[in-house]
Amino acid sequence: MNNGCKKYIPFQQITLPDRTWPQKTITAPPVWCSVDLRDGNQALIDPMNLEEKLDFFKLLVDVGFKEIEIGFPSASETEYEICRALIERDLIPEDVTIQVLVQAREHLIRKTFDAIHGAKNVIVHFYNSTSTLQRKVVFKKEMDGIVDIAVEAAKLIRELTEKEIAETGMNIRYEYSPESFSGTEMENAVLICDKVLDALGATPENKVILNLPDTVEMCTPNTFADQIEYCIRNIKGRKNAIISVHPHNDRGTGVAATELSLLAGAERVEGTLFGNGERTGNVDIVTLAMNMYSQGVDPQLDFSNIHHVRDVYERCTSMKVPPRQPYAGDLVFTAFSGSHQDAIKKGVDYMKTHESPFWEVPYLPIDPADVGREYEPIIRINSQSGKGGAAFVMQQAFGFQLPKAMHPEFGTVVKAACDEAGRELMPQEVYNLFSKEYLEVNFPYNLKAYKLYEENEDEEAENAEGGTAVHFEGNLRFRHEDHKVSAVGNGPIDAFFRALEQVNIKDYTFVAYQEHAISRGADSKAVSYIHLKDPQGKDAFGVGIDSNISMASIKGIICAINRAAK
């Protein structure tokens, strides 16, 4: 980029060598304030209409927000009407405080008071920009002039509030934001905050919210934490204030900056669901809350149905939650890597066998079920996947534990299908190949009817080897002709092999078999893998599934013989 970076002025950190925040941890949630309906809304290509805002408001209430910035009622007629609709339609629960934003300008403040008339609990949030850069290039004013604007606004807001309280008994609180706080000299930020606290008559009983915005994220998150700790230490009226932060995400570290500012003493956080907001967005409250949750801290917000939260958000804002969005994205509880899948499975098994009360699963920071989701292993097979790849899919996705000796044969079938398709195969496609190759093989031999039973116990019949004799009777169709076969053996497989001799199927050698239970749908069945040598000495594999374990083996034998005949 041809040294273009030299035109940027590096951020000047403040000096705070005795900072205390790095030693702290987050042990309790902050007061959350959603600014979705204001900061989030103002950053939409098509701002929400009345019905959308009301739906979103209901979602925020359901999630558990107690402070909700509903808009900028003095900015437009639509915003004004939305505020009135919430109040007049009585849509604001008793324990929820609505917040309205207004610039520190007289006519806008007066209009804002008209808009909130009759609401039970309101925070009047006023702001003016204090940043070094904006003072230089936008306002062309010294800091004194900026302080005057804030103080004049504070006095007017106090006067209108006292009048409104006297007349209506409304509960009105104050919030002041030195906008672009993180781009302001800290002495100036402290100065203006103290002046505003005084002008508003803040007391420990009637605290004012001092909202310190990271309006544009300017440096690594530790610098913001230093700024917050500096202000908390130096604002004289600190005990009369609730320290709030309002981080944006320009450097992609809004969540980190917020978390560090909480360590530094911030008590309240303003942000949005999924981080919607100006430019790169406001801080994402879902991520903040779920990060706390994953550390054993109850965030006091309910994201147990994240799909619903996401659906309402996407419908009302026309924004999309990206697939890798923490906790909510489509792919965040998905494992692509085989070794990750293996470790996850082992973690889940460990929790079961040890009855662990804790979440101890590698690669999944939280239990997906806590946000109403499921872990999803994605197993993809391509022509490079190797002989065991297809067997791995059969095991992970469908529970079939193919014997090692079968892996190369089935691997070759899958590889040929990949080559033919010229792409990766999804697990269901691998299963379909398995089914076609092993489970749907009924020609030239087809076992139409069969019966297996042991010798009557009273007769205590024993065969030559001393085991209980087993009878097999069946109707075996060869090509298009049915043959009745029956034989006795020292076990079901032996009896069946002897019966097969009656239709001239001989010289197959039994090499090995393996079986296990498998749950397909509601019922549990047995699957049997049969390994034979055909009369020419070649390997022949077959698979049988049945609710009876002996019949599963017999089906597996017929399958192997049919495949060898093919």
284 labeled part of a ligand binding site: no
User: Is residue 483 exposed (0-12), middle (13-18) or buried (19+ Cβ within 10 Å)?
Assistant: middle
Strand order in the sheet with 470-478: 445-454, 470-478, 481-489
For residue 258, state whether it binds ligand KIV (rule: CB under 6 A): no
Task: Return the residues of window 26-45 that contact ligand KIV according to CB under 6 A.
Answer: 39
Closer to ligand KIV at the Cβ: 215 or 383?
215
For residue 39, state whether it binds Zn ion (rule: CB under 5 A): yes
Pull the structure tokens for residue 302: 């309910």
- Which residues lie below 8 Å from residue 159, measured CB to CB, with a gap of 6+? none
CB atoms under 10 Å from CB of 319, counted, come to: 18
Q: Which H or E run includes 187?
A: helix 186-200
Q: Are 228 and 14 in contact (CB under 8 A)?
A: no
For residue 213, state whether it binds ligand KIV (rule: CB under 6 A): yes
- Pick one of Zn ion, ligand KIV, none as the site partner of residue 177 (Cβ within 5 to 8 A by kind): ligand KIV
Of the candidate spans 1-9, 17-25, 116-124, 209-217, the one that interacts with ligand KIV by CB under 6 A turns out to be 209-217
249 labeled part of a ligand binding site: no
For residue 177, state whether it binds ligand KIV (rule: CB under 6 A): yes
* CA 30 – CA 26 distance, rounded (Å): 9
Q: Which H or E run includes 126?
A: strand 121-129
Of the candidate spans 87-95, 208-216, 453-461, 552-560, the one that interacts with ligand KIV by CB under 6 A turns out to be 208-216
Closer to Zn ion at the Cβ: 39 or 52?
39
C-alpha to C-alpha distances, 535 to 388, 505, 507, 540, 544, nearest whole angstrom = 28, 10, 5, 10, 21
Q: Are 212 and 244 in contact (CB under 8 A)?
A: yes
- Which residues lie below 8 Å from residue 25, measured CB to CB, with a gap of 6+? 263, 295
* Shortest Å distance, C-beta 235 to ligand KIV: 18
Closer to Zn ion at the Cβ: 192 or 532?
192
* Shortest Å distance, C-beta 260 to ligand KIV: 18
Taking CB under 6 A as the criterion, the residue among 215, 227, 244, 341 binding ligand KIV is 215
Q: Are 484 and 478 in contact (CB under 8 A)?
A: no
Closer to Zn ion at the Cβ: 34 or 550?
34
Of the candidate spans 163-171, 210-218, 302-310, 558-566, the one that interacts with ligand KIV by CB under 6 A turns out to be 210-218
* Shortest Å distance, C-beta 35 to ligand KIV: 7
Taking CB under 6 A as the criterion, the residue among 173, 207, 246, 531 binding ligand KIV is 246
282 labeled part of a ligand binding site: yes
246 labeled part of a ligand binding site: yes
Pull the structure tokens for residue 488: 């006795």
Q: Which H or E run includes 211?
A: strand 208-214
For residue 227, state whether it binds ligand KIV (rule: CB under 6 A): no
The strand pair at 97-103 and 121-129 is best described as parallel
* Shortest Å distance, C-beta 228 to ligand KIV: 15
Q: What angle do CA 391, 397, 400 make, to 5 degrees?
A: 50
Of the candidate spans 146-154, 182-190, 207-215, 526-534, the one that interacts with ligand KIV by CB under 6 A turns out to be 207-215
Q: What angle do CA 495, 500, 502 make, to 5 degrees?
A: 110
* Shortest Å distance, C-beta 423 to ligand KIV: 46
Of the candidate spans 24-32, 33-41, 229-237, 341-349, the one that interacts with Zn ion by CB under 5 A turns out to be 33-41
* Shortest Å distance, C-beta 227 to ligand KIV: 14
* Shortest Å distance, C-beta 212 to ligand KIV: 9
Of the candidate spans 32-40, 154-162, 221-229, 519-527, the one that interacts with Zn ion by CB under 5 A turns out to be 32-40
For residue 327, state whether it binds ligand KIV (rule: CB under 6 A): no
According to DSSP H, which parts of 400-450 are helical? 407-421, 427-434
Binding site for Mg(2+): residue ranges? Answer: 39, 246, 248, 282
Summarize as ranges the residues that interact with Zn ion (CB under 5 A): 39
Positions in the binding site for ligand KIV (CB under 6 A) = 39, 101, 127, 177, 179, 211, 213, 215, 246, 248
